[in-house]
Amino acid sequence: MTALDIPGGTRAVARCDALRIAPYSDMEGGLFRAYLTPAYAAAQEQLARWMEAAGMRVHVDAAANLVGRYDGHLGHAPALVIGSHLDSVRDAGPYDGPLGIMLGIEAVAALHAEGRRLPFPIEVYAFGDEEGSRFPAAMLTSRAVAGTLDAAALDITDTAGVTLAEALVTTPDYLTAARSPDTTLAYLEAHIEQGPVLEADGLAVGTVTGIAAQLRYRVTVKGMAGHAGTATMRLRRDALAGAAAMVLAVEQIARADNSDVVATVGVLEALPGAPNVIPGEVRFTIDVRSGAEERRDAVAEAILARIGEIAEARALELAVSLIHDLAASPSDPALMDLMDDALAAAGQPVRRLVSGAGHDAMNMAALCPTVMLFIRCREGISHNPAEHVEPADAEIALRVMLGFIDRLGDSFVA
């Protein structure tokens, strides 16, 4: 069987698997593909070949996103954008992000194989920095495309001291990646669910109603470093002990709210990092999410108040900065209806669910109507090498996407 004989959904999964190893990963024995790294460049080159084989013209935009375009038969029509992200977290699974790109390519490949053109063009985006695994800000590239990125946000440096400008090298003005609203009809993103709902309900796919609101903070706690053997316990200003109490407070306050609010400390760094030195400085992050912004904000305020009390009680210095504030992003009602119709036509029960995870769609909503399709993943596991998607589910997702595209074409008014 040749590559052309393999069904599109199955091929999409296989291509994600192919990109989980060197040269498409910068991590030995696992997957790590951060923005603007050698692995990122190698993955873009391979994706470009697959896009071209599917009948698309390919270019890299000013934010280093890879873009493939399949023209429609109306030259002036705005484009349907299909996208997801190419980067990954450290020690990742292969489907979070890339599967949505691969299914976009396969949708175009199916149209191209039939010699079909929609009234509008289709543009497939491989966004570069959804995870924020290299620079201390997430979703730079989709914010640039949506036209919501502030120039000040580009003044950032990775942990190796490399600035974004240095990493980009020859790329022109980043903000010129912005699309004009009149060039963009809608945005479609297919993505693994990263949760257990679809599997629990015995469903392969579902329509996403929206994305939860997010707040993310960077916290620095400063105490006094000292010798671990000579500083008495009652006189210590241990930044790590104080931070530990703060981390537990984050969990306790979110659990006590007894709602859909989730709060996570995902990064923690103790300095100077020696076994015989009392930590004098600790840095960590706090991520707070909820489907309702007011509930998210109330829990975040309670967390910040409590960690302030802990710092004061322990005579520690506390600095908190807001990394990002992402509003809840509801899907477009008309597009959800088209997606539900496509689900039913593909023989799938109609199921709607909310996304607790953030996606590039939440930024693209500032540019155009958006909709997402969730795909079942085994045990809801994501951001983990155990991430798994059945090829049969990807086949269903592709059928639903093609049905959605047909329905969008039927409803298009020039």
The pLDDT mean for the chain works out to: 94
357 and 239 in a common domain: no
3-state secondary structure of 336: helix
Amino acid at 55: G
pLDDT value of position 6: 76
Rounded-to-integer distance, Cα 195 and Cα 379, Å: 7
Per the annotation, binding residues are 85, 96, 131, 191, 216, 276, 289, 383
Using the 3D structure, point to which of 300, 326, 352 is the last residue of a domain.
Answer: 326
279 and 319 in a common domain: yes
**Helix-strand-coil split of the chain, %, nearest 5:** 40, 20, 40
| Average pLDDT for 269-292 | 95
Number of domains in the chain: 2
pLDDT value of position 327: 82
Q: Token pair of 204, please?
A: 């392969």
pLDDT value of position 356: 85
Which residue stretches of 223-292 are H helix? 239-257
- Is it the case that residue 98 has pLDDT exceeding 70? yes
| Average pLDDT for 237-258 | 98
Helix pair 8-18, 391-411: axis angle to 10 deg: 120
Rounded-to-integer distance, Cα 45 and Cα 28, Å: 20
Per the annotation, binding residues for Zn(2+) are 85, 96, 131, 191, 383
Strands 370-375 and 205-211: antiparallel
338 and 314 in a common domain: no
Measure CA 148 to chain center: 16
Q: Can you give the residue range of the structural domain that contains 318? A: 214-326
Q: Token pair of 197, please?
A: 């709902």
15 and 154 in a common domain: yes
Rounded-to-integer distance, Cα 44 and Cα 66, Å: 7
264 and 173 in a common domain: no
- Is it the case that residue 4 has pLDDT exceeding 60? no
Rounded-to-integer distance, Cα 343 and Cα 339, Å: 6
237 and 272 in a common domain: yes
198 and 165 in a common domain: yes
Confidence of residue 257 (pLDDT cuts 50, 70, 90): very high
Using the 3D structure, point to which of 294, 326, 358 is the last residue of a domain.
Answer: 326
pLDDT value of position 170: 66
CATH code, 264: 3.30.70.360
336 and 247 in a common domain: no
State the virtual CA torsion across 181, 183, 187, 188 in degrees, nearest 10: 180
pLDDT value of position 73: 92
155 and 43 in a common domain: yes
| Average pLDDT for 297-322 | 98
334 and 281 in a common domain: no
pLDDT value of position 278: 97
Confidence of residue 2 (pLDDT cuts 50, 70, 90): very low
- Is it the case that residue 291 has pLDDT exceeding 90? no
Is residue 136 reached through a cis peptide bond, with omega within 30 degrees of 0 on the bond before it?
no
Classify residue 164 by burial, with Cβ atoms within 10 Å: 0-12, 13-18, 19+.
buried
- Is it the case that residue 275 has pLDDT exceeding 50? yes
**Which of 36, 34, 15, 18 has its CA nearest to residue 26?**
34
pLDDT value of position 147: 97
Confidence of residue 264 (pLDDT cuts 50, 70, 90): very high
pLDDT tens readout for residues 342-381 = 999 999 999 999 898 889 999 999 999 999 999 999 999 9
DSSP secondary structure code for residue 383 in this structure: S
- Is it the case that residue 252 has pLDDT exceeding 60? yes
Higher pLDDT: 138 or 177? It is 177
394 and 338 in a common domain: yes
pLDDT tens readout for residues 5-42 = 679 999 999 999 999 999 999 999 999 999 999 999 99
Largest CA distance in the chain: 78
CATH code, 389: 3.40.630.10
Strands 213-222 and 370-375: unpaired
Per the annotation, binding residues for allantoate are 216, 276, 289
Residue whose token pair is 């530990």: 244
Using the 3D structure, point to which of 267, 297, 326 is the last residue of a domain.
Answer: 326
Percent of the chain with pLDDT over 70: 98
pLDDT value of position 143: 95
Specify whether the CB–CB gap between 185 and 79 falls below 8 A: yes
Measure CA 409 to chain center: 28
pLDDT value of position 366: 95
